[in-house]
Structure formats: C-alpha cells, structure tokens
Structure 1
Amino acid sequence: MSQRFVVRATGAARPGQTAALGTALVSANCRLLDLSQHVAFGEVTLEALVETADDLGAMLPTAGDVFGLDCRVEAVSAKSETLWADVAKDPVWILTLMAPALSAEVMAEVGALTAEQGLTIQQVRRLSAESRLDAANSPGDAGACLEWRLSGAVRDSTLLREKILALSERFAVDLALQPADLWRRHRRLICFDMDSTLIQAEVIDELARRHGVYDEVAAITERAMRGELDFQQSFRERMSKLEGLDESVLADIAESLPLMPGLERLMGYLKRLGYRTAILSGGFTYFARYLQARLGFDEIHANELVIRDGRVTGEVQEPIIDAERKAMMLKQIVEREGWDPDQAVAVGDGANDLEMLAAAGLGVAFHAKPLVRRQAALSVSVMGLDGLLYLLGYSASDLATLSPEH
C-alpha cells in the first residue's frame, strides 16, 4: 500500500545534489508530489513530498551519505495533509523592515508582534546588499532591509497597525505590511506629491519669504491646520499675499530646492523598470516642470502661478489642485492607460494627499504628519524615497543588474 512521506535533506551546498536525490527517489519507485529547495549561508535544504510503497526510511539515509546530505524521512498522516490544505487557504502578507541598521532586538519585537496576531513566518529574506545588518551603511546606500513572508488571518488589523507605528517610532525603523498579491510586482504608475515629498521644502513658504510676507502666509497656514479654512480658501488667501512678487526669483528658488534623499536613485531605477511617473501637486507647475526636466517625470499636474508683466498677480487659476482633484487625476491616468487601479502607487506627506493615497492600490505616507501616518496603508518615516524600491519587492541584487538612468 502506498504511503506519503516528506523527505528533508540538508548539508553543505554543492552541484549535483538535486539530481542525486532525484535519482534515489526514482530507485525507490517514488512519485514526486511537491518540491522545495533553498540555500542559505552555504547550507542547502531540499524538501520533497513523495508517495511510494517502498521503505524510504531504509534507503534514503544511506543514499544521502553518498552525495553529502543528511536525509530524514517522515511519514505524512491524513491529519497533517488536512492541516496543510487549510494553511494553504490562509491570506499571505509581506512585511518589509528597513532602516540604516537593524538589530537583533528589532527582529525579536517583529517576531513577537507577528505571533501575537497569529501570523506564521514562512520566509525571511534580505533585500539589501550583502553587508552587516547591524552596521549603519554609507550615505549613498539604501540601508538594511529584510522582507518577511507571513501567512494567516490578522486577528485585529487596527491594533496591528497601531503597534507597527509604535514599533517603528521606538526603534527608528520603517515597518510596512501589505498583501502578497499579484499586483505587488506589477505596479505600473507611481504618483507623487511634490512639496515635502519630492523636495525638502514648501515652495509657497519660500516664495512668501522672498516677498517678505512669510509670517502672514504662515498664519494662514496655521488657521487651515486648525480647521478654520479648507485647502481652497487657504490657497486663495496665501496666493493673494504673493501679489507683486518678481518673476525673476522663481528660477533662483527652483535651482536651490533641496531634493528629498533617495529621489534621484529612485527615479533612475523607475525609468529603467518602465514605470510611468507623475507629480500630482497642490504646489506650482513652474517648479514641477523643473523637476520633470531634471528627473524625467512623465507628466505633471499642479497649480499655475499667474504672472503678468513679470510679476505674480496673486490670482488663482482654476481648477485648484486639491485633495479631491489629486485622487481624480490618479484615477484618470489609470483609466487612460488601461491599467487596474491596484497597479497605481501614491506617495505623499500631508492630509491633502489622503484621498490620493486611498485611491491607489498602494498608498505610502512619506515622512508624513502623524494623522497621515495613521490613516495611510503604509508609512515610511526613516528611509529615503529609494526605500520605495524595497516596498515594491526589488532587492539590491535585482537592481544591480540595471544601470539607473539619470
């Protein structure tokens, strides 16, 4: 009578072991039902699910000695097969952990958090380059990153989200959980806010500072943050304060805008990988066009600075790019290109970006305000913009095969 077995073979990795084990299974008249193999730190682990009427327990250990593997054979019970079938139906998740350096203490905390939620760790793999996880990397490096593949139904998604944010803040790491679905490696569109996302500045504040009205504009911004004004009202009031600003200062401001760390590296790889990139901003087209020319964004959508006779008029040109319009434009691009909404990624830092983040298949709060971090699906507060490559599932070894465009 046939019986099912799991064969587990381990040992120092070397060529020919899979072929040798396969030959041994053929000699034992085995039917191969499933197979898994991986190598870590020079050690190979090969596991096979087989079915045979022969006595594998006597044959394989001896065969394993020949090709340098320690072979164990375990009979599979009907109960085990039922359990495996149930586990195969569980949701699967990807947990990305990244920071300039990662410690054993962080590993322990992440493991405890996943266990508390009833999630099983199926696999952990390094996405970052081959260097020490616990040592801070050079400024040009993308930091340390581990990707955890988990299975199971999350017991309390709200509590899990809160604990992910708390753990991230406590250890100064970025921790992001997302479904391990088909779309994760098939995103096509990435939309970015501009101010405080692509650049380390709020352009309207820089314009106000040059015009000598910074305190007045900041007071309007503060009223908006208290909820006394909505975005469109505050935008109109702030624009009115810029009336008379000399057009000549715009180029100087554009050229001095500090880029967000990791932006140039990110854009170089996104272009090589064929993503469509867009700036959807409540800022100004003048500065968005500057970034487009410098970094190669495919399209930009922002507010126009109305200039007449070499001076900013302070007028507002409709339509104003606000939160609702950002989300609408993301959806329009997706529809125009014939993509699924889940193939879109949105990245932003402010409350004005939340609708856009929610409209995308993957919404990332980048160095965002606390309210935005709590409401967005994913949050990055430690790494640079090139950390987005890890969230998309690309490893340093993947990217090493490409030469990023500039």
Structure 2
Amino acid sequence: MPKRLILITMSGQDRPGVFAAVTDLIAQTDGARIRDIEMTVTHPQMVLTLLLDLSTGDSSEKPLIKDLLFAAKEMELHLDFSVVREGDYRRKSAHNRYVVTILGSHVDAAALAQVSKVLVKCHANIERISKLTQGELRCVELLIGSDGQLDIRLLKRQLLQLGGKNVDVAVQKESLYRRAKRLVVMDMDSTLIQVEVIDELARLAGVGEQVSEITERAMNGELDFKQSLAARVALLKGLRQEALMDIYQNIPFTNGARNMVRILRRLGFRTAVISGGFQFFTDRLKEDLGLDYAYANQLEIVDGVVTGRTSGVVVDGERKAQLLEEIAEREGITLDQVIAIGDGANDLPMLGKAGLGIAFNAKARVREQADTHINQQGLDSILYLLGLSEREMEEIGG
C-alpha cells in the first residue's frame, strides 16, 4: 500500500492554542504520524505546516481533514491541504542545502531581487528566509536547496559579484560544521586594527611614503612578502623602542573588533592573531583582548633601538597557513571548524585552509580569490555568518 502523505498548511493571525488544537486532533486519529513540521510567526501572522503520514493506520484522512477545517474556521484561520508523494519528499529531504547571508547598511528590495534572480538562474530554491537584525533590515539569511543541478562555484561567483555595491553576499554549505566553528584566526593590520603598523612606524622614522608604497604593493601581491618586509624594516633602523609603545597606545581598533572577540570568547571559541607585522604589537593585543594565540615577526631591538632587521622565521603567507593548522591540531579542531579573516595577499593561504575564509575590506586581488568577502564597517558583522542574530549578540555581549 503506497504511503499517504498529506501536507497541511494553516495560516492567519497568531493566537495561543492553535498548535495545541491541531496536534490534539492528529493525536486522536489512528495511525496518523507527523513526519515534518514548521511554524513561523511574523507580525503577527502565523504559518503552521505539517506533513502527516497516514499509511500505518486504518483511518481515512477525510475525517481528520474535516476536523482540521472545522477547527481552522473556529479560530478564523485559513487551511490548505495537498497530497505529497513519498519519493518527492525523500528527494527534497536528501538534497544539498546552502545558507546565503546578505549583509548591508540596509538590505532593500532591489538587493533581495538581485540575489533571488541569481538563485533562480542557478537552479536553487529558497526554502526559508530569516531576518537576523532588529529594527532595520540589515542582515537576511536564506536557506536554499537544489535538486542536483546547482553549480555551487558558479553560484558563489555570481553572488560575490553583487557584493561590494550595496550589500555583501556570503554562501556556506548548511552542515554541522557551519554551526560548530571553534577557532577564529585573524590578521592584525587593517583587519583587527584599522592601520598598518609598519606604515605608522615609518611615519615616525621619517620614511612614511617609501614604506607605504612598498606595503601597498606587497598587500596586493605585486611584491614577494619576505623581500618587501626586509626592505621596509631596513628603513626603520634607528627608531627607538619608545616609539613602538607610543604607536601601540594610539592604535585604533576596527569597529566591532572588541565586541566580536568578547562574544566569541563567551561562546567558547579559541581566538588567534597571526600577523605579518610585529610580535611587539600582537603580544600586547593578545593580552588586551584576551586572545589565546599571537604570532608575528620578531623585530630586532638592541639597546632600545631598532636594528633594521627581523629575527627568527618570517611570518609570510605560507607560514600563516602553517600556524593556523598547528593551532587547530593543538586544540583538536578540524580545519572545517576554523574561520580565518584577513585583508592582504599574504592572508590568502590562511583563508584557503580554513573552513570559512573571509576577506575583510580586502585588497582587489584578495576579494577576487577569497571564498567569501565582506566590506562592512564592523568586524562583528562576521558573527552573522555563524547564524547569530543581533538579539543573540546583544544577549551574549551583555
């Protein structure tokens, strides 16, 4: 005997007792089982959907539907029902799902239309829409599914092209690992903080323009990082150690950086800063923010004066990726559970290793190659990609 699956949809103004009344009627029907269920309430309209399986009992679905129709009328609700084939239900339950997060100062209808048109073109279907912000519509999360025709790389490319205009769009596979991230690794310069420290040091040393030009070319990937670092550090020769502390005490954090780290720590995340800058600054950031790890280049200082050299292993792009892997292994965390955030070309290897690599307000070349890029003022906007709502952030951040 083929399975009889009935899809019931009830909608109207929400009120207490709707769910109790519906489930009580189903419970009184011999052999009726609830296979799937979902309910949403939006200002103050309610939609309740249930998929019922009546294949195991002797009862007909007709009396139950009649009772549900009568109950809906009494509660001034609208009820629809339709028959669903078992094969269709199984195929829909088994297909791949992805989460599309849309961020902006205001996510308007034009942005939503652009995103949804791309989804249609790529054979993706929106299954659920959630608002993650309070008040203005600044972050929307879409759960999308596909029947197997979806080219996820093409979808990401097309959606990322929309980013940076009025909104940013990120795509992640909906899986346990998206909701079970455990380690966040950040770059320092122009990511965790708003400036490039070496440029600030160069300004005090009177070689600002020369160093800034080299930094810009290095971050865009036009110069080898090790060579560019050596060239810039050589220009800092003679700078006194007191200047480094003066720079640190006046470093402007990126908006939302402290809030993001505070929320991550309270959620039990491990946090790290891995920088192509200098250990003098990352060590102090680690202490200031309560980070778990800090790695950077060791600026050589002798008798309180910068020698113009670094010591130890240079933290370039490959070293950043290696350190990320080492931290994850030490913490017993898989790479799928790692988030990496950076803005420069030397961050790309690290971003590529992580389960979620985010180019934050990044250089052009980095935006083109990164899996996800975000151009938002607040670093804590990245928390939306974990599925956290603004209300939850406020509750946790306290």
Name the CA shift for 1:234/1:73 in 2 (closer, same or farther; >3 Å): closer
Q: Is the 8 A contact 1:20 1:67 kept in 2?
A: no
Post-superposition CA distance 1:219-239 (Å, at most 9, x none): 544664687741111111211
Query: Residue type of the partner of 1:343?
Result: Q
Q: Quick check: 317-326 or 61-70, which moved more?
A: 61-70
Instruction: Please tell me whether residue 373 in structure 1 is matched to residue 388 in structure 2.
Output: no
Q: Which residue of 1 aligns with 2:34?
A: 33
Q: Is the 8 A contact 1:122 1:150 kept in 2?
A: yes
Q: Is the 8 A contact 1:95 1:176 kept in 2?
A: yes
Q: Is the 8 A contact 2:297 2:315 kept in 1?
A: yes
Q: Which residue of 1 aligns with 2:78?
A: 70
Q: 2:117 aligns with which of 109, 112, 115?
A: 112
Name the CA shift for 1:348/1:24 in 2 (closer, same or farther; >3 Å): same
Q: TM-score, normalised by structure 2?
A: 0.92
Query: Residue type of the partner of 1:234?
Result: S
Post-superposition CA distance 1:270-296 (Å, at most 9, x none): 121111110000101111122223221
Deviation at 1:249, TM superposition (A): 0.9
Q: Is the 8 A contact 1:29 1:54 kept in 2?
A: no
Q: Is the 8 A contact 2:220 2:365 kept in 1?
A: no
Query: Residue type of the partner of 2:33?
Result: L
Aligned length: 389
Identity %: 38
Query: Residue type of the partner of 2:201?
Result: L
Q: In structure 2, how many angstroms separate the alpha carbons of the residues matched to 1:5 and 1:308?
A: 79
Query: Residue type of the partner of 1:83?
Result: D
Deviation at 1:30, TM superposition (A): 5.0
Post-superposition CA distance 1:75-105 (Å, at most 9, x none): 33xxx33222222222100100111111111
Q: In structure 1, how many angstroms separate the alpha carbons of the residues matched to 2:149 and 2:374?
A: 22
Instruction: Please tell me whether residue 166 in structure 1 is matched to residue 161 in structure 2.
Output: yes
Post-superposition CA distance 1:206-228 (Å, at most 9, x none): 11111112233245446646877
Q: Is the 8 A contact 2:186 2:272 kept in 1?
A: yes
Q: Is the 8 A contact 1:3 1:53 kept in 2?
A: no
How big is the alpha-carbon RMSD for the aligned residues of Structure 1 and Structure 2? 2.0
Instruction: Please tell me whether residue 205 in structure 1 is matched to residue 205 in structure 2.
Output: no
- Aligned pairs (5 A) from 1:293-312: 293-312=287-306
Q: 2:141 aligns with which of 135, 138, 147?
A: 147
Q: 1:87 aligns with which of 72, 83, 92?
A: 92
Q: Which residue of 2 aligns with 1:231?
A: 225
Secondary structure of 1:288's match? helix
Unaligned runs of 5+ in 2: none
Unaligned runs of 5+ in 1: 134-143
Q: In structure 2, how many angstroms separate the alpha carbons of the residues matched to 1:255 and 1:38?
A: 49
Post-superposition CA distance 1:29-82 (Å, at most 9, x none): 351232222222212222222214242443321132233432223233xxx332
Secondary structure of 1:401's match? helix
Q: Is the 8 A contact 1:127 1:396 kept in 2?
A: yes
Name the CA shift for 1:213/1:362 in 2 (closer, same or farther; >3 Å): same
Secondary structure of 2:239's match? coil
Name the CA shift for 1:86/1:31 in 2 (closer, same or farther; >3 Å): same
Q: 2:50 aligns with which of 40, 48, 51?
A: 48
Q: In structure 2, how many angstroms separate the alpha carbons of the residues matched to 1:122 and 1:368?
A: 32
Q: Quick check: 15-24 or 202-211, which moved more?
A: 15-24
